[in-house]
Amino acid sequence: MTETGEMRFSRVHTASPERLFDCMTTPEHLTHFWGPAGTTTPLDGITVDLRPGGAFETTMVNDADGSAYTMKAVYAEVSRPHRLVWVEAGVEGGMRTEITFIDLGDGRTEAVTHQTNVPQAYLSAEAQAGFRTSLTRLDTYLASLDPEQ
């Protein structure tokens, strides 16, 4: 068995917990930012069945060479707008991603992502930097949306 680890990322976004949760769970939003810089996630490559036991799948396409990577997960917990949990059973050990949305009360939300059973390949500095670029893409996308009502 390959050794696994864990990762934790925290990022403050300028959006309400509801807006942030909706962006993370709606294909029409996800297509704009899902995946690291240098990838595209086409709308027809995103499946969201937003309920415990429902499918969450994305296919990221490398902009440079067209290669594709599909992530297949199942939602374990869906609690809008506070918490979202999914498990990628096909990744050794069943990689688990938990995102907690913390309302900072000033129009900003802290999103804390905690991943467990993370394969060594995903723990590299390069993989972590790629994850951070997806958070930056999310911030750029959030800034492009109409102000919340």
Are 119 and 3 in contact by the 8 Å Cβ rule? The answer is no
The answer, yes or no, to whether residue 149 has pLDDT greater than 70, is no
> How many domains does the chain fold into?
1
Residue 60, in any domain of the structure: yes
Domain span holding position 89: 4-144
| The dihedral formed by the CA atoms of 19, 63, 61 and 110, expressed in degrees to the nearest 10 | -30
Cβ contacts of 78 within 8 Å, gap of 6 or more: 25, 50, 51, 52, 54, 84, 85
pLDDT at 26: 97
Residue 95, in any domain of the structure: yes
Q: How far apart are CA 34 and CA 23, in angstroms?
A: 10
Residue 107, in any domain of the structure: yes
Average the pLDDT over 98-127 and give the result: 93
Average the pLDDT over 68-86 and give the result: 97
Read off the CATH number of the domain in which 33 is found: 3.30.530.20
Residue 104, in any domain of the structure: yes
This prediction has a pTM of 0.92
Summarised one tens digit per residue, pLDDT across range 118-130 is 988 888 888 888 8
Residue 35, in any domain of the structure: yes
Residue 64, in any domain of the structure: yes
Summarised one tens digit per residue, pLDDT across range 8-56 is 999 999 999 999 999 999 999 999 999 999 999 999 999 999 999 999 9
Residue 50, in any domain of the structure: yes
Confidence grade of residue 148 (pLDDT, cut at 50, 70, 90): low
Residue 149, in any domain of the structure: no
